[in-house]
Structure 1
Amino acid sequence: MHSLTKTALSFNGIGWRCVSLNRFSETRIICRGLTCAAEHGEHKNELYDVIISGGGMVGTAMACSLGLDPNLEGKKILLLEAGNKKVMDKVPDAYSTRVSSISPGSVWDACSDALITFDKENLQDEMAYIVENDIIVAALTKQLENLSDQVRVQYKSKVVKYTWPKSHQVADAIPWVQVTLANGQTLQTKLLIGADGPNSMVRREAGIPTVKWNYDQSAVVAVLHLSEPTENNVAWQRFLPTGPIAMLPLSDTESSLVWSTSHRHAEELLQLDEESFVDSINTAFWSNENHSELVETAGSLFRTALSVLMPSAGSARQLPPSVAGIGPKSRVMFPLGMGHASEYIRHRVALIGDAAHRIHPLAGQGANLGFGDVACLTQLLSQAAFNGKDLGAMQHLLEYETERQRHNLPMMAAIDLMKRLYSTNAAPMVVLRTFGLQATNTLPAMKAQIMAFASK
């Protein structure tokens, strides 16, 4: 079997950088100076400086990030991972359906020809990469095999109860968070980090309110085989009246599909035979059936006016690759929604990733928001340790909450607005969308600002 080179991300204590991964050989993330963890033993009532409840991409990245920070050297850190290590550190033989990305790409409206193209002329370096979630998890899990006293990992661990610290004035008060596992272990920690996903038990048991709603949409994901090999380095997204459809590059011959649509349509797509499913994808990307003469005329006039005002602006239009087939058993669907915790912190508790925020996948920002949480919290805990402060104290946890909410809330609001804005094909709204896309595409400074914000 030939080797396919993939690209993933590593955390260097400041930000994420690219690491080349060989698809069918040893996969790892380079964490310089990282001391990571081990299989668990029996450590009943043991006190940790930090316990991370929940693994996956964000929780495991949090463990590695804390482990590599020199100011946290000597701190006792535990990662509670519900998954099986033997499964998690295995790189699948074929491309998997779940990917994370913020990529240079083209975005356009199915109800008109208006589009925004983010290309290399707008970028000094790549904005990000398409990476399979399984690859990231496997890479981080392999790194955790380096036995160390710095980070301990307990796989196949299930939390059944959290006991929160009470006031020191109360007799027999518990000063730390207690974590009770299904195997009977009771652990204590100065700081509990909840990385246990959108249905977070940490968030729920801490009594942190969450604003959430469902979109009445599901996402259909699949691995796509392209009609012919191509320099497949562009992420494509088109806004259909039923929801956005995106094609994300994996290799010269394969891409990943994320098609957000109604629950009923999603179920219909899953039931189609492969040929009909492929035809539906190509039609969704290429069809002009939703165009109207009014919108085309208005868009043409506005585009002409922009070309007169800014003759050198804008980008040449590209066309997406056509699809010839799909990977075996790669079609799955999952419901979509939005959620945001009103607080990211409590005394000795912090939420990261989907435990704090859940967004629509149309902008590919979910995992990246979580990695941003990791970077921010690591920096603040590092500074607290350097200053000899209590890691679970509210002072720096409040800084974490403030900084991340200032970034996450505008991003989430923009994504939600975009989702609702493109959920209609009413002519007046389509005309406004067309003008907005065309204007943005001719303004390099505005596109640079959009990309800079998305890359934070």
Structure 2
Amino acid sequence: MGVQYVAWNYEQMGIVATVKLSEPTENIVAWQRFLPSGPVALLPLTDTLSSLVWSVSTAEAKKLLSLSEEEFVDSLNDAFWKIHPKDGMVEAGMRALGQLLEGLSLHSGFTRQLQPSIRGIVEGTRAAFPLGFGHAASYVKPGVALVGDAAHRVHPLAGQGVNLGFGDVTALVRVLADASRNGAVLGDVAYLAKYETSRQRHNVPTMLAIDALHRLYKGTAAPIVLARSLGLQLTNAFPPLKRAIMEHASDHRTS
């Protein structure tokens, strides 16, 4: 297509697998834990199965892929359950926020559920892929439109890659329907340009926010940890703000 593609690598790989839970449960909660090496997440599939996405350095990914199933499961449970030393400044800051929110009669969101433990992985499902950022400067040419991963690539930490792709498809179908109703050729660039404009206005800010989150969570200095922890708890304490973020993340509209 001759389209410029902006990209950079994160020097990480995402390990994926279908994992078996230790016991059947009402598996309706997605779990994510941010570690210095990268986030590890479980997405519900059934009462006994979840989908794993574990972001680690390329070297660590190769090591984890070489482990036996039992060793891999032990490492995964350790990633989810290991208690790390807590920084005094961060703990004091979070306690102060909790007291402030309580005084304002706002829910702090400090109540914590326990994540499930893993007993095994489904054979043949463990793999890894490189993580990076990518974005096509233009999504369309006459008769051609890019959607999903062909148009953009994001870190999986926010789980937004598939949502961005679904939004692309929804917007493109609406534009093509308009072209059809108006008797235009489906590949008319004047119509495709409407798709490109609407989706880039949505995708680019979302992608840059995800990239910023990735860089923020790579930091381990106490002030950075405190800032992001306070930000998450404040977001959770203000339902209108949380709702606005969720609505933007799931927005499949063309305008």
Range of TM-score over shorter length = over 0.9
CA-CA distance at 1:284 after TM superposition: 1.3
Q: Please tell me whether residue 442 in structure 1 is matched to residue 237 in structure 2.
A: yes
Alignment partner for residue 175 of structure 2, among 377, 380, 384?
A: 380
Equivalent residue, structure 1, for 2:21 = 226
Count matched residues. Answer: 251
* Matched ranges for 1:138-149 at <5 A: none
* Matched ranges for 1:6-405 at <5 A: 206-312=1-107, 314=109, 316-405=111-200
Bigger RCO (CA 8 Å, 6+ sep): 2
CA-CA distance at 1:290 after TM superposition: 4.6
CA-CA distance at 1:347 after TM superposition: 2.6
Task: Give the whole-Å Cα distance in 2 for the aligned partners of 1:441 and 1:390.
Answer: 47
Task: Determine what percentage of the aligned residue pairs are the same residue.
Answer: 54
Structure 2 length-normalised TM: 0.93
Task: Give the whole-Å Cα distance in 1 for the aligned partners of 2:108 and 2:230.
Answer: 15
Name the SS of the counterpart of 1:213 in structure 2.
strand
Highest Rg: 1 or 2? 1
CA-CA distance at 1:207 after TM superposition: 0.5
Task: Give the whole-Å Cα distance in 1 for the aligned partners of 2:54 and 2:147.
Answer: 26
Q: Does the CA contact (< 8 Å) of 1:248 and 1:257 recur in 2?
A: yes
Letter in structure 2 aligned against 1:344: Y
CA-CA distance at 1:282 after TM superposition: 1.6
Task: Give the whole-Å Cα distance in 2 for the aligned partners of 1:453 and 1:428.
Answer: 28
Letter in structure 2 aligned against 1:375: T
Task: Give the whole-Å Cα distance in 2 for the aligned partners of 1:249 and 1:391.
Answer: 38
After superposition, give the CA deviation of every residue in 1:167-195 in whole Å (9 maximum; x if it has no partner): xxxxxxxxxxxxxxxxxxxxxxxxxxxxx
After superposition, give the CA deviation of every residue in 1:242-282 in whole Å (9 maximum; x if it has no partner): 11100111111111110001001111111222222222112
Q: Does the CA contact (< 8 Å) of 1:227 and 1:322 recur in 2?
A: yes
Query: Are residues 293 and 313 of structure 1, via their aligned partners in 2, closer, same or farther at CA, if it must alter by over 3 Å?
Result: closer
Task: Give the whole-Å Cα distance in 1 for the aligned partners of 2:246 and 2:197.
Answer: 22
Aligned structure 1 segments of 4 or more residues deviating by more than 4 angstroms: none
Task: Give the whole-Å Cα distance in 1 for the aligned partners of 2:173 and 2:153.
Answer: 21
Q: Does the CA contact (< 8 Å) of 2:108 and 2:234 recur in 1?
A: no
Name the SS of the counterpart of 1:279 in structure 2.
helix
Name the SS of the counterpart of 1:422 in structure 2.
helix
Structure 1 length-normalised TM: 0.53
Name the SS of the counterpart of 2:93 in structure 1.
helix
Task: Give the whole-Å Cα distance in 2 for the aligned partners of 1:329 and 1:290.
Answer: 35
After superposition, give the CA deviation of every residue in 1:371-429 in whole Å (9 maximum; x if it has no partner): 21111111111111111122222221111110000111111111111111101211110
After superposition, give the CA deviation of every residue in 1:296-323 in whole Å (9 maximum; x if it has no partner): 1221122221221134453632110111
Task: Give the whole-Å Cα distance in 2 for the aligned partners of 1:292 and 1:313.
Answer: 20
Task: Give the whole-Å Cα distance in 2 for the aligned partners of 1:379 and 1:267.
Answer: 43
Q: Does the CA contact (< 8 Å) of 1:243 and 1:259 recur in 2?
A: yes
Gaps of 5+ in 2: none
Task: Give the whole-Å Cα distance in 1 for the aligned partners of 2:180 and 2:121.
Answer: 50
Q: Please tell me whether residue 409 in structure 1 is matched to residue 219 in structure 2.
A: no
Alignment partner for residue 228 of structure 2, among 430, 433, 437?
A: 433
Range moving further from structure 2, 423-432 or 322-331 = 322-331
Query: Are residues 311 and 357 of structure 1, via their aligned partners in 2, closer, same or farther at CA, if it must alter by over 3 Å?
Result: closer
Equivalent residue, structure 2, for 1:94 = none
CA-CA distance at 1:447 after TM superposition: 1.1
Equivalent residue, structure 2, for 1:48 = none
Task: Give the whole-Å Cα distance in 2 for the aligned partners of 1:445 and 1:289.
Answer: 33
Q: Does the CA contact (< 8 Å) of 2:17 and 2:122 recur in 1?
A: yes
Letter in structure 1 aligned against 2:33: R
Greater helix content: 2
Q: CA RMSD in A?
A: 1.5
